[in-house]
Structure formats: structure tokens, C-alpha cells
Structure 1
């Protein structure tokens, strides 16, 4: 299928699909006329990429784990493990952000934001 079909079926722009192709997330073949030709399994994979991004996974994480998940017979268990890892990262980041917020709060309205309130 040419680039317009997966774009229409997924709601992604052609530029986004071209970007995913350049970064290796998807692959298509070039036809003799220079048009891109993508296999049918590109559409569900693009939907997966979009969902994974909405869940907070970076394109690098998706690229790193994508092939592994496609080749894993029990992908539900593998996905659950990835989610648990992501939750741990989010929890650690929340602790960092809470500490940052407390530090900013202590410095607000002190006259000099580089000094903490005494």
C-alpha cells in the first residue's frame, strides 16, 4: 500500500510516516516509480506506536522493544513487564519532581530566588 493508505487509516500524517521510516520504526519498499510501498502489517504497527507514545514510551524505547514484542509469543506478559519498568521510572521521576517543587516553593518570594528562605 502507498503511504496515503496507512496515513488515512491511522490518522497519522505522511510526514510522520516518512519520519518513522527514516528512523527505522517501519520499513517499506520503493516501487519502480519511486513511491513507497508498505506491507499491510504496517497499519497495526503504526497504531501500536501511537498508543505506546500516548502511554509515555519514547520512540527509542518503542524501537528497542518493538521487534522483541513482535517476536514474543506471549507478548502480553512482555508488555506487562515493560509497563512495570515504565511505572518504576515514572515513580522515580515523581519523587524528583516533588523534591524540585519543594525547593522552588522554598525559594519563591525570598527576594533572591537563588537563596532559600531562612
Structure 2
């Protein structure tokens, strides 16, 4: 039988992070946030929260990240509830990958080689 473990980050003084609710159930690390103002940076915040949650999980379970054997981690699940005044769709998927700077490099050596070969 799977057990429920509350993993909510409380005011960690040196990090000043706090998430609303997080818990480990079975093979899922669940993180639930409530927002009254729209914030497109929630995926970045989730990354920071999950890094702390996984760090605690790794320490608690005495997992060796330097081992030659792969460690197994619970699957992350991140849900944000929004009740602000800005009109947003009922469901919206925010992606961490959208936060990274994307640059188009038209004349890189790889592109020039690709064009030459193909």
C-alpha cells in the first residue's frame, strides 16, 4: 500500500521559498500551487521547488547521485490553481522550455555544412 508523505516546503530562511502544498504519494511527487495573480514564470518557480523537494528526497532515502547506477525518482506532477481577475482559459499548459532564450543562428558552421551536404 502506498503511503502519503507531506513534503511542503515551509519558509526556509536562507532560500525564502514556500510552496502551497506538496506531497509524495506512491511514485508521484505532487506540487500544488494557488495563484490569485497570473504569473507566466510558474514553471521556473516549479523547477526551483522541485529541486528542493528532490534534494530532500535524495538525502532522506540516502541515494547516491554519484553512483554508476541510475537512481529512481518519483515522477513530478505540478498543478497551479488560478482564481485571479485576468481572463485566462480554464486549462492552460505552461512549459519550462518556453522560458529559455531561443536564438536563430542562420549562418553557423553546422547549418552551412547541412545545406552543403543536403
The TM-score normalised by the length of structure 1 is: 0.23
TM-score by length of 2: 0.23
Q: Which has the higher helix share?
A: 1
Pick the structure with greater CA Rg: 1
